[in-house]
Chains A and B, each alone.
Chain A
Amino acid sequence: MPIDILMPALSPTMEKGNLTKWLKKEGDSVKSGDVIAEIETDKATMEVEAVDEGILGKILVPEGTQDVAVNTPIASILADGEDANAAPAPAQKAAESAPPAAAPQPSPTAAAAPAPQAAVPSAVANPPQVKSQPDPEVPPGTEMVTMTVREALRDAMAEEMRRDADVFVMGEEVAEYQGAYKITQGLLQEFGAKRVVDTPITEHGFAGMGVGAAMAGLKPIVEFMTFNFAMQAIDQIINSAAKTLYMSGGQVHCSIVFRGPNGAAARVAAQHSQDYTSWYSHIPGLKVIAPYSAADAKGLLKAAIRDPNPIIFLENEILYGHSFEVPKLDDYVLPIGKARIARAGKDVTLVAWSIGMTYALKAAEELAKQGIEAEVIDLRTIRPMDTATIIESVKKTGRCVTIEEGWAQSGVGAEISARLMADAFDYLDAPVLRVTGKDVPMPYAANLEKLALPTVADVIEAVRAVTYR
Chain B
Amino acid sequence: MAVKKAVARTEAAPGAIPDFSKEQELHAYREMLLIRRFEEKAGQMYGMGLIGGFCHLYIGQEAVVVGMQMAMKKGDQVITGYRDHGHMLSTGMQAKGVMAELTGRRGGYSKGKGGSMHMFSIEKQFFGGHGIVGAQVSLGTGLAFANHYRDNGSVSVVYFGDGAANQGQVYESFNMAELWKLPAVYVIENNKYAMGTSVNRASAQTDFSKRGTSFNIPGEQVDGMDVRAVKAAAERALGFARDGKGPYILEMQTYRYRGHSMSDPAKYRSKEEVQKMRTEHDPIEQVRARLLEKGLVSEDELKAIDGEIREVVNAAADFATHDPEPDPSELYTDILR
* Of listed A32, A200, A231, residue having the most chain B CB within 10 A: A200
User: A267 and B115: CB pair below 8 A?
Assistant: yes
B residues apposed to A, CB below 8 Å:
40-41, 43-50, 52-54, 101, 103-105, 110, 112-118, 130-134, 163-164, 166-168, 194-197, 201-203, 262-265, 268, 310-311, 314, 317-318, 320-322, 325-326, 328, 330-332, 335
CB of B114, distance to nearest CB on chain A (Å) = 6
The interface-forming segment of A100-108, A159-167, A365-373 is A100-108
16 new A-B contacts, CB < 8 A, other than A71-B48, A105-B310, are A41-B263, A43-B263, A44-B264, A109-B48, A113-B321, A116-B103, A176-B201, A198-B201, A200-B163, A266-B53, A267-B52, A267-B53, A438-B331, A440-B332, A441-B335, A452-B331
* Shortest beta-carbon contacts, A-B, top 3: A267-B52, A444-B115, A8-B47
Give chain B residues whose Cβ lies under 8 Å from the Cβ of A149.
none
| CB proximity of B225 to chain A, nearest CB, Å | 19
A108 near B113 with CB under 8 A, answer no
Q: Establish whether residues A44 and B310, one from each chain, have CB atoms under 8 Å apart when the complex forms.
A: no
A61 within 8 A of B: no
Interface string of A123-157 (1 = CB under 8 A from B): 00000000000000000000000000000000000
Residues of B within 8 A of A447 (CB): 104, 325-326, 328
Interface of B is mostly: loop
- Within 8 Å by CB of B317, from A12, A108, A202, A446, lies A108
- Pairs across A and B, CB under 8 Å, 29 listed: A8-B46, A8-B48, A9-B46, A10-B47, A12-B54, A48-B47, A51-B47, A108-B318, A112-B50, A116-B52, A118-B52, A173-B196, A173-B197, A180-B195, A198-B197, A201-B163, A265-B53, A266-B52, A268-B115, A269-B114, A270-B113, A271-B132, A441-B335, A443-B112, A444-B110, A445-B330, A448-B113, A448-B328, A451-B328
Q: Are B48 and A112 in contact (CB under 8 A)?
A: yes
Are A444 and B265 in contact, CB atoms less than 8 angstroms apart? no
Q: Is the CB of A71 within 8 A of B49?
A: yes
Residues of A within 8 A of B326 (CB): 443, 445, 447-448
- A228–B132 CB distance below 8 A: yes
Contact B331 A9 (CB under 8 A): no
Question: What residues of chain A lie closer than 8 Å to B103, measured between beta carbons?
Answer: 116
Known: A10-B47, A173-B195, A271-B117. A440 touches B54 (CB 8 A): no
Contact A445 B268 (CB under 8 A): no
Name A7's closest neighbour in chain B (CB-CB). B47
- A177 lies within 8 A of chain B by Cβ: yes
Contacts of A268 on B, CB cut-off 8 Å?
Answer: 53-54, 115, 117, 131
From A177, A441, A448, B197 is in contact (CB under 8 Å) with: A177
A14's nearest neighbour on chain B, judged by CB, is B263
Assess whether B54 is in contact with A106, with CB atoms less than 8 Å apart: no
Main secondary structure of the interface of A (DSSP, over half): loop
Which of A199, A270, A444 is most buried by chain B, counting CB atoms within 10 A of its CB?
A: A444
User: In the complex, which of the residues B112, B134, B263, B311 contacts A11, with contact meaning CB atoms closer than 8 Å?
Assistant: B263
A306 on the B face (CB < 8 A) = no
* B318 cross-chain contacts in A, Cβ below 8 A: 106, 108
A267 to B113, CA, bound (A): 10
Contacts of A47 in B (CB 8 A): 265
CB proximity of B138 to chain A, nearest CB, Å: 12
> B325 contacts A118, CB within 8 Å?
no
How far is B203's CA from A12's CA once the two chains are assembled, in angstroms?
A: 29
B-side contacts of A202, CB under 8 Å: 166-168
Number of A interface residues in the complex (CB < 8 A): 67
Q: Is the CB of B317 within 8 A of A448?
A: no
- Of B113, B117, B203, which contacts A443 at CB under 8 A? B113
Residue from the set B46, B130, B197, B328 with the largest chain A CB neighbour count within 10 Å: B197
Interface pair A271/B265, CB less than 8 Å apart: no
Bound form: Cα–Cα A14–B320 in Å = 22
- Report if A115-B115 is in contact (Cβ < 8 Å); known contacts: A11-B262, A108-B45, A445-B105: no
**Whole-angstrom distance between the alpha carbons of A440 and B130 in the complex?**
18
Give per-residue flags for A22-46: 1 if the beta carbon is below 8 A from chain B beta carbons, else 0: 0000000000100000000101111
Is A412's beta carbon under 8 Å from chain B?
no
Q: Does A334 contact B (CB under 8 A)?
A: no
- What residues of chain A lie closer than 8 Å to B48, measured between beta carbons? 6, 8-9, 71, 108-109, 112, 115
Cα A121 to Cα B281 with chains together (Å):
45
Q: State whether B113 touches A444 (Cβ < 8 A).
A: yes
Asked if residues B131 and A272 are in contact (CB atoms below 8 Å), the reply is yes
The CA-CA distance from A112 to B323 in the complex, in Å, is 11
Residues of B within 8 A of A14 (CB): 263
Chain A residues contacting B168 (CB-CB under 8 Å) are: 202, 204-205
The residue of chain A having its C-beta at the shortest distance from the C-beta of B264 within the complex is: A44
Name the contact of B335 in the complex, choosing from A109, A119, A440 (C-beta under 8 A). A440
* A window 411-441: CB within 8 A of B: 438-441
- Rounded to whole Å, the gap between the CB of B152 and the closest CB of chain A is 29
> In this assembly, does A172 line the interface, its C-beta being within 8 Å of a C-beta of chain B?
yes
Is B49 a contact of A9 with CB atoms below 8 Å?
Answer: yes
Closest to A265 in B: B53
Residues on the A chain within 8 Å of B54, using CB: 12, 268, 272
Taken together as a complex, chains A and B put the C-alpha atoms of A145 and B311 apart, in Å, by 55
Say whether B132 contacts A229, CB under 8 Å. Answer: yes
A92 part of interface (Cβ distance < 8 Å): no
